Every structure is written in structure tokens, then in C-alpha cells.
Amino acid sequence: YRETREQRYLDQARKIAAFIIDHPRMPKDCIPYWDFDAPQIPNTPRDASAAALIAAALTELTDYVDLSTSKKYMQVVETQIRTLGSPEYTATIGENGAFILKHSTGAYPLKSEVDVPLTYADYYYLEALTRLKNRK
């Protein structure tokens, strides 16, 4: 939407945000399971990469929505960033193969990239942090 100003893109982004934020299987800490429909919930891996991407997207999306919706988005972002920044999800320096985030899931059904660090998790985490910093 930022590049095209086509309303349909903003409408779709808002629908996606609502689906994610209001999903009954979104955990309280806002770090989603690898799939909202995974039959093993809550005994299935979380996905830090999805949380980082969501945080980056919602931070940008706040610029294009009304104040009430913006506040709702930022509450989710704050929860995600605080959780991702906790020792549970942030690696100790020198560990985790020099990645920042732990506990991402790439392709659970293929038994690939399950509960591992992922490049794009760190990318979107840093993107979210940068967008938050630039808002102030």
C-alpha cells in the first residue's frame, strides 16, 4: 500500500492483521505457533520468525489506520518485541550460531528448520526494532 496507494492492498493488510491478532489460538505472548491450525497446540513449536515479521508489518501498518486500530496494533507489537527480547527468545552472545533469535520454525511438516535460528527471523526483528525507533 505504501508504494501504490491502492486501497485494496490496505484493505487486505488490515484483514490479515485482524486474522492474526484476533485468532483464538494466538498465545498471550503473541509468539504464534508454527501454524494456527496445528492439531498439537499447545504442544507444538512456536515461530519467532513469524512474530518478528508480524511486528515489523504491524508497525508500518499503524501509519495507515485510525488511532484506535493503531493502538491495538502497537499493543501486539510491544508484546511481541518484549517477548522476543527476553532470554527465552534472544540468544546469549556467542551462542546460537551468532543469530539473535532462537525458536523459529521454517517447514515443520517437512521436519526442516524446526526450533532453529533463521536469517529472516533476525532480519524482521531488526526491521521491527528500526521501524519502532524511527517512530519516536
Q: What is the pLDDT of residue 68?
A: 98
Q: What does the alpha-carbon distance between residue 5 and residue 60 come to, in Å, rounded to a whole number?
A: 14
Best CA proximity match to 103, nearest among 40, 58, 42, 52: 52
Sign of torsion over alpha carbons 86, 90, 92, 96: positive
Q: What is the pLDDT of residue 58?
A: 98
Q: What is the pLDDT of residue 1?
A: 95
**Distinct helix (H) and strand (E) counts, the chain:** 4, 2
Q: What is the pLDDT of residue 109?
A: 86
Series of mean pLDDT values for 10-residue runs along the chain (136 residues): 97 98 97 95 96 98 97 98 98 95 93 92 98 90
pTM value is 0.94
Q: Give exposure, 77-93, as e/b (b: 16+ Cβ within 10 Å).
A: bebbbebbeeeebbbee
